[in-house]
Amino acid sequence: MSEQIYDIAVLGGGPGGYVAAIRSAQLKFKTAIIEKDKLGGICLNWGCIPTKALLKNAEVIHTIKKASEYGINIKEYSFDFTKIIKRSRDVSARIVKGVEFLMRKNKIDKYDGFGKLIDKNTIEVTDASGNKSLVKAKNIIIATGARPRQIPGIEIDRKSIITSSEAMVLERQPKDMIIIGAGAIGVEFAYFYNELGTKITLVEMMPQILPVEDEEVSKTLEKEFVKNGIRILTSTKVLSAKTTSKGVEVKVDANGKEETLTAEIALVAIGVQGNIENIGLEQVGVKTEKSFIVVNKETYQTSVPGIYAIGDVNGPPWLAHVASAEGIACVEQIAGLHHPGVDYSNIPGCTYCQPQVASIGLTEKKARELGHEIKVGRYPFRSHGKSLAVGENTGFVKLIFDAKYGELLGAHIIGENATELIAELGLAKSLEAVGESIFKTVHAHPTLSEAIMEAAADAYGEAIHL
């Protein structure tokens, strides 16, 4: 049994783990990373990247369907579902190879196998052949991520009742699908499969789809989805789901009215649970709660000194960019560098359906609940020059400012390229920009970003094009 001694050992190679390892190596720490599968974790292999590749196919199909609006006549078109899936997998594989290159470039030792803590400074790694090695380190960062959460009593067979992972690699396109959960994952798959022609029923327990988003945004998206043929059941609880000879039956309760839904496939997309099992947490005394590791959210230290946990495994928000930010913050604090920490009030959230949805900070409802006196500005894309020019004019920008100090409290966008536009508002919020500093900043014309300037101006009664 071989043994190595490191300054930092990272357990898990997802967007939290591999970023932490790279930052560790940059700071001249002797670094190891342990990963049982492929580097990149869920995000690069089964989440962020391959799903966006799939969604691009849906966007292309969407454009083809409305090509006549641009004076382009496409009488017939077809698509190869197998090739769509293959393209997504190829994109994922290419990105993963890039991460592997970064490990070599930064001289990070990579251990292929399942890692388990056997004491506060030691990880036992078991490879696919059963061979074991010990990785000893002064500091250990746990970045084992999370996996799709299951509904109690509903068995996921990965054939008729599936998770997002199976939804990305189906052998053939289903004619109909029930999607349980209308958060970002459920909504994105609803959009993707609906554009391809699958009949979609979207079931959500909360009163609105995308429950964490501003109500106006969610209502606008729901209206678009319904217009495009998606059936939406909100305030609806799933009672049971079972496989049948023809697919699956899902029994639901919609405001006291029971209904049995049928389809070829049911996709369960109701959230995640942490990967904390069998990695030795109990043995070394790391405290957990509801399937997640308890940490100090400033240092990411667990209940055991020298052991840290970052990313999805330490709880919400379950976002790849949060995991990466936590990885950098954690390593820099281990190094004794000053780090301001991760500002959890300034984390962008993005949903990559069409129209896209992006937000940062407080919703209007939450701002009022917290007692803020607010100014709200809105600017619709329906009358916006660039939106009309590109032929995508659904949606709006909505900005929420503190009435007394002018501070940007929240930003919400639904529309074309919303997930790109949100970055400007993240920077503005991090720099404590006030409304006037946003709308007095000259925005290039014609651009979609002008809608941000106009929304800020609207909050102060100075919008020009409203």
pLDDT tens figures, 49-90: 999 999 999 999 999 999 999 999 998 999 999 999 999 999
To which H or E segment does residue 365 belong? helix 364-369
- Average pLDDT (374-390) is 96
**Euclidean distance between CA atoms 314 and 344, whole angstroms:** 14
Long-range CB contacts for residues 92-95, cutoff 8 Å, separation at least 24: 92/40, 92/44, 92/45, 92/46, 92/49, 92/50, 92/53, 95/40, 95/44, 95/49
- Give the residue among 376, 398, 384, 394 at the shortest CA–CA distance from 465: 384
CATH number of this structure's domain 3-148+273-344, picked from the four choices 1.20.1050.140, 3.40.50.1820, 3.50.50.60, 3.40.50.300: 3.50.50.60
- The top-level CATH class assigned to 355-459 is alpha beta
Residue 311 has pLDDT above 60, yes or no: yes
Q: How far apart are the first and last CA of the chain?
A: 72
pTM greater than 0.85 (yes/no) = yes
Residue 341's pLDDT band (boundaries 50, 70, 90)?
confident
Residue 1 clears pLDDT 80, i.e. is over it? no
Query: Out of 95-104, 190-199, 338-347, 409-418, which region has the weakest mean confidence (pLDDT)?
Result: 338-347
The dihedral region occupied by 28, where left means phi > 0, alpha psi between -120 and 50, and beta the remainder, is left
pLDDT value for 383: 87
Domain positions in the chain are 3-148+273-344, 161-270, 355-459
Residue 339 pLDDT grade (very low, low, confident, very high; cuts 50, 70, 90):
confident
| Per-residue pLDDT, 3 | 62
Give the pLDDT confidence score for residue 2 in this predicted structure.
53
Q: Kindly report the average pLDDT of the chain as a whole number.
A: 95
Q: Judge if 3-148+273-344 and 161-270 fold alike in CATH terms.
A: yes
Question: Is pLDDT larger for residue 459 or for residue 466?
Answer: 459
- Of 338, 372, 443, 445, the catalytic one is 445
Give the three-class secondary structure for 194: helix
445 is catalytic: yes
pLDDT in tens, 117-138: 999 999 999 999 999 999 999 9
CATH of domain 161-270: 3.50.50.60
pLDDT at 252 over 80: yes
Question: pLDDT at residue 218 above 80?
Answer: yes
